[in-house]
Structure 1
Amino acid sequence: MNRLRRARPWLGTLVEIEAEAALDSAAVLAAIDAAFAAIAAVHAAMSVHDPHSELSRLNAGAHRQALPISAPLLQVLRAALDFASASDGAFDPMVGGHLTALGLLPEAAVAAAPEASWRDLQVDDRGCVQFARPLRLDLGGIAKGYAVDAAVAVLRAAGISAAQVNAGGDLRVFGAAPQRIALRDPRAPSRLAHAIELQDQALATSAPYHTAATGLPSALIEPRSGQPYAGGDSLSVIAPTCLIADALTKVALFATTERRDALLERHDARLLILSADSR
């Protein structure tokens, strides 16, 4: 068995891929390269920071006319709208305007309406998107999970028998044996506080790890108030896919307990909370 590990900067973080297979090193490396290419394609389509991305094109023009989008972006957008509806807006892909106002995103060519929400986005039967008013769609709460899942699909198709894809703490593993994953202490992110074992599962974490050190507000936004998450707890979700885990961490932060628990059950997911107040 050959086991290789590589890391590259994508999705605003460092993405690490570790893969093992009964293949020669060149074949394993080719599979890893192909997985990174899948992640790069998601970044190119869905980055809110890249003015040339497909997402930026929507933000610039979808309030004027319906615009066609690619199949991957359509899949992620429909998933985001489903989570928004099911959580009563606790998950909302329209927080880009709030992030811009807080200085966490660069100014956009078109300013988002302050009252914008997921209900202002329409997807027609042709897969075209139109905004009811100027919006700043930001898929940062779900696209990273989708990218991890895309990389896993490429690795499996290439004959990799076991792997871990980790995009800044949003990760997915597969293989015959469980893999041990460490979770950071929300009070001291450089310290590990808890460990779990995953097997053919994904995990995502939302926590304000670096807000105290940087002095910047949290990028975790309560969509209905537009205010940054003010708590100190770390919330992790274990789910069958990383897209689901990624989205559900925001649901866990901002939804009612009833809606949170219903969505966790619906998606066969479970929630882990590391309290900043624990001793």
Structure 2
Amino acid sequence: MNKLTIGIISALALAGTMPAKAQFKLVNPVPQNIQSTGFAQLPQYVNIKTSNNRDNSFAVAALKNGIRVESNAKYTITLGIKGDKCVKAYAKHLPKKAEGYWLSINDKSAIIIGNDEEGLFYGVQTFLGSIAKGKLETGTVADWPDVDFRGTVEGFYGTPWSHQARLSQIAFYGRNKMNTYIYGPKDDPYHRDQWRKPYPTEEGNRIKELNEVAKKNGVNFYWAIHPGVDIKWNNEDRDNLINKLEMMYALGIRSFAVFFDDIWGEGAKADKQAELLNYVDNNFINR
């Protein structure tokens, strides 16, 4: 028997004795701290326990969408954020980081506690990600993000993403613990070339839906405007900008950006840009 054959047989024998690949390490991004204690049977149904003030939590909704729930199921998952009575006993385990969470799983129950609503949502995503292969790994996970803003800017030239592509992107961000999406495609005319004009009703409703879906996925939706191509540094255009921001506010948008990239001439004057943004701050943000 040659050395190559012996090597293959030895590798196969070793593989047969190796434990199953850890489910926690299938989660993306891999959590900061994992303490695995083994595997248990994945329950067919779970019972969710939470405080009353979490009834409208997008984290709880995400768990209900990802696993079968029965009120009389023997396996219980308890969810809450720091301060909720149902998870008070576990707050000492929380990492002292914004959006951090702690997750504990055994063969009879699981606990998910977050420092805030976003942290709880990320704990839910880790739980759902860890059972994606049909196994239940037991142990604890402590996790938190290293970067405050995680996501993308749709700010390129050319054909913008379709509405369905954006919805798919936002769902992807939620699953992978990204929290930021900035909407600013250069070829959306109501973002740039016709920035003064309101969106037609149908297009405005699509942006409203993106924002609402983003909230359900723990993503902060920023709507950006790009007025620098032809802006006039006068009261009329300052008010045009405020009016457009007010229109987007009426659609439910609460995070905004003003872009001055890829421009020249009058629009590129930094002192005028600063004056305009101070005007926006005083007459829109603060008000």
Quick check: TM above 0.5? no
Output the TM-score relative to the length of structure 1: 0.24
Greater RCO, CA 8 A, separation 6+? 1
Considering only CA atoms, is the larger Rg found in Structure 1 or Structure 2? 2
Greater strand proportion: 1
Higher share in helix: 2
Q: TM-score, normalised by structure 2?
A: 0.24
